[in-house]
Amino acid sequence: MDATEKKLIELSVSGDIEAFETLIQSHQKRVYNIALRMTKNHEDAQELAQDAIVRAFTSIGKFRGDSSFSTWLYRITMNVCTDFLRKRNKAVVISMEQGAVANDSQQSIQIEEEAPGPDELVEKNQLKKMVRDAMDSLSDEHRQVLILRDIMDLSYKEIADTLNVNEGTIKSRINRARSGLKKIIMQRSELFQDYVVKYIRKGGNS
Amino acid sequence: MNRCEYCLEHLSAYIDGEMSESEMKDIEEHLKECDSCAHEFDILKTIVSTCSELEEELPDGFSSSLHTRLEKAREDMTADRNRKGKIKLFSQIAAGFVIVVTLGFAIRLGFFDTGSTRNGLVAGKKSASDAAPMALGPSVVEFSAPRIVGQEDNRSAGAIREDAEDPQKHSIAQSMDNIPDDIKNQEDSGVIVHFKESSDKTAITEKYNTEITIYVDDIGKAIESIMAIDEKIGKSRESNTAYLEDYIKAYRGGTRSNVVELKLVYTSEKVEKCFINEIQSAFPDIQVDSVPSSDKGQDEDEFIKIIIEKKN
């Protein structure tokens, strides 16, 4: 924790909203995106992201610096989101398979309509859309683990700690989640393979 | 497991760099030799890197609506921090005076339906005459009765202010203005009456039990103060001292929760009263609640229950 962050945390503990806003400035977009990937819609995401940030503000006195501030904030966000999903899923239970199948035809049509343009950016955006849509079709558990890994950029150990399961479980869960993601994408679009080839050839893949 | 199976199973960990160097090297070498696995790797790597680029922009107005919510949260927090400790006296036959004000107010706020109101009113009237230590005139009882039935809000509040000759009554009139907000924050809808005077006047008439809530920064210290008070009184029946010592040992040694609940037993009402007096002077920022026994605590007659909560 650097000195500025430490100072901002101290001020936030004393109720200084401006200091807290400065503190979360560079993290709020990620908080929002975690919520967005978890809830799959913008309205809930905004609500939950703000819930999480407000909760961080009111309990910042309990932040002990065991992890970085951002990790702490993202964990709160994840907790807020899983609580929300748990409640929502109690109300509406939809089989993930059904959901995925129902979206299938629509999906492939969309992709064909937005046929690959010459513009690299268009392709890249299309690729993103495919991955995003596929991610939304994953189970909550698999989506969560990929958010923790790929959006929050946590190590396997940190993910294991956050979810309170052992590292081996996380390792295989991430592998299964990614296989699932790949499977959905491949089912939906044969074009994906072409994208991959082009994408790699163009050096878009680091 | 053949090498391809092994490779595919560990591709994710390989991409994330979550394996040992030698394992990484194994996979790396296999990918050079095996086109099929290499292709899988390309696909997966593309997906993973795309996943990490999925960030979207914040919606318009996010920061300003967040700011409003933070302001609101700070207000709530400040209100929460100003919470005072409480002593709740669960009177079997509660002090009439308190009950009268309580009921009058509760009805104003619509806490009771009419049926329970009437029952409560009877209890209130009856106990008022018993409440000698309160030294309150019958006029207090009088004002409460018609207003409870008639539900004339302004008049009932006004009447209290007119009666407010001595400081104690005055403080009640003042505190009534604060009650609605306080009540929202209470789990039970018992009415809070602030006593700033000595607790001799708190009208402990019959059997009662007591619940004391204290908000402190340091729970350990608070337990120590309570131990000191207990020692000072020196009339524990079932060895409160040993109990408290065990408690503080457990607290220091183990889980430091934010709430600690103690139960103390004293031989007589007099000693209990003495204990409450001492608690009030040790923790001056404390208020006294009297709660009708019908609401709470009937099965806990013999105890003083002390809840120590850590301030946020």
Predicted ipTM > 0.85:
no
Q: What pLDDT does residue A34 have?
A: 92
Q: How far is B257 from chain A, CA to nearest CA, in Å?
A: 13
For B290, phi then psi, to 5°, come to -115, 130
Residue B170: CB atoms within 10 Å = 14
- What residues have CB less than 8 Å from B33, skipping those under 6 apart? none
Task: Using DSSP, state whether A205 is helix, strand or coil.
Answer: coil
Interface of A with B in 103-122 (CB under 8 A): none
The C-alpha of A147 sits at a distance from chain B's nearest C-alpha, in angstroms, of 8
Q: Is B171 exposed, middle or buried (0-12, 13-18, 19+ CB in 10 A)?
A: middle
Residues of A in contact with B45 (CB under 8 A): 205
pLDDT at A116: 45
Tell me the residue type at A171: K
Task: Using a pLDDT cut of 70, give the percent of chain A over it.
Answer: 76
Over residues A96-147, the pLDDT tens digits come to: 434 444 444 444 333 443 444 456 677 778 888 889 999 999 999 999 999 9
Q: What is the distance in angstroms between the Cα of A25 and the nearest Cα belonging to chain B? A: 9
Closest Cα in chain B to A143: B51
Q: Which two tokens stand for residue A117?
A: 């343009």
Residue B136: pLDDT band with limits 50, 70, 90: very low
pLDDT surpassing 50 at residue B28: yes
d(CA A177, CA A183): 10
Q: How confident is the model at residue A46 (pLDDT cuts 50, 70, 90)?
A: very high
- Asked whether residue B190 carries a pLDDT value surpassing 70, the answer given is no
Q: What pLDDT digit, counting tens, does each position of A9-41 carry?
A: 999 998 899 999 999 999 999 999 999 999 999
pLDDT at A191: 63
Q: How far is CA B120 from CA B40, B148, B301, in A?
A: 77, 10, 20
Which amino acid does the sequence have at B197?
Answer: E
pLDDT higher than threshold 80 for residue B210: no
The answer to whether residues B190 and B106 touch, using CB atoms and an 8 Å cutoff, is: no
Q: Give the one of A50, A146, A205 whose C-beta lies nearest to B66's C-beta.
A: A50
Distance (Å) from the alpha carbon of A76 to chain B's nearest alpha carbon: 16
With a cut of 70, say whether residue B89 has pLDDT above it.
no
Q: Count Cβ atoms below 10 Å from residue B190 Cβ, excluding itself.
A: 21
- CA closest to B62 among chain A residues: A46
More confident: B157 or B143? B157
User: First CA to last CA across chain B, in angstroms?
Assistant: 55
Smallest CA–CA distance from A32 into chain B, residue: B58
Contact (CB, 8 A) for A170 and A159: yes
Report d(CA B140, CA B168) in Å as an integer: 13
Q: Angle B256-B259-B264 (CA atoms, 0-180°, nearest 5)? A: 105
- State pLDDT tens for residues A165-198: 899 999 999 999 999 999 988 887 766 666 666 6
Gyration radius of chain B's alpha carbons: 31
Q: Does A58 contact B55 at a Cβ distance shorter than 8 Å?
A: no
Minimum-distance CB partner of A128 among B54, B58, B70 = B54
Chain B partners of A174 at a C-beta cutoff of 8 Å?
12-13, 16
